[in-house]
Amino acid sequence: MAVIHHTTLKPTKLELLTDWLPSRPWYRGGPDTPVLTKSGGFRLEDPEGEVGIEFMVATDTDTDAGTATDIPAAQSTAYLVPLTYRGAPLAGAEHALVGTMEHGVLGKRWVYDGCHDPVLVAELLSLMEGTARAHAQSVDGALDPEVVRSYAGAPFTLDGFTPEPTDDREGTRIPAPHGTVLHVHRVLAPVPENPPLRPEGAIGHVARAWQDPQGTPLAAVFVTLRTA
């Protein structure tokens, strides 16, 4: 079981993301630096206990920055940022490095865009098919019952699977086993209700609720799985 250390991080996760997010093709902000707040999310467990896995909702509260057609400019923009935390560099993933930080207990940590990390992608697929459980973002040992998942396919075969994601303005696509594709919705399209059910045409999904900076409950599909 992963242990959540409530300690100092230098720089903080949000400070790393402030510099990294504007470099992404799916970033919706303008030329100004994003003003980020952590709004929610969940964690997954690495079976080997080596890699920290977090799905963070980071909200840009600069309301003049939104340019997405589905998100009004007057509304803050919520990004889904899957992250992994490692005690050593991930070989061949220099392009996916968000940055490094000093952890008050664990020392230097390498922080990666988790869509490029095979540990995160494997556990995300396991969560979707129901063989892994979502954990609370900030509470040791607690499961997260608010994460909704579904899968209507055959059991995944992950031996030798290596993610090869591509990013564009719509988000991140990751080819997955059995001729499927994971669609990671980087810019969340929130609805004021409980986490949505599986979208039409998808064979799997993960969804969750969170709160915007004003405390308004929102929910969205985080990830969908579709046939290629």
Residues 99-156: tens digit of each pLDDT: 999 977 677 999 999 999 999 999 999 999 999 999 999 887 899 999 999 999 999 9
Here the contacts of 155-159 (C-beta below 8 Å, separation 24 or greater) are: 155/129, 156/125, 156/126, 156/129, 158/122, 158/125, 158/126
SS3 8: coil
Counting DSSP H helices and E strands in the chain, the numbers are 2, 12
pLDDT of residue 6: 57
Statement: residue 93 has pLDDT above 90: yes
CB environment 168-197: b (16+ within 10 A), e (fewer): eeebbbbebeeebebbbbbbbebeeeebbe
Which residue in this structure is represented by tokens 């220099």? 94
Q: What pTM, to 2 d.p., does this model score?
A: 0.91
pLDDT confidence bin for 68, thresholds 50/70/90: very low
pLDDT confidence bin for 160, thresholds 50/70/90: confident
Statement: residue 13 has pLDDT above 90: yes
| Contact in structure between 33 and 10 (CB atoms under 8 Å) | no
Distance CA 138, CA 5 (A): 9
pLDDT of residue 204: 97
Task: Give me the chain's average pLDDT, please.
Answer: 89
Distance CA 226, CA 58 (A): 25
Statement: residue 196 has pLDDT above 90: no
pLDDT confidence bin for 63, thresholds 50/70/90: low
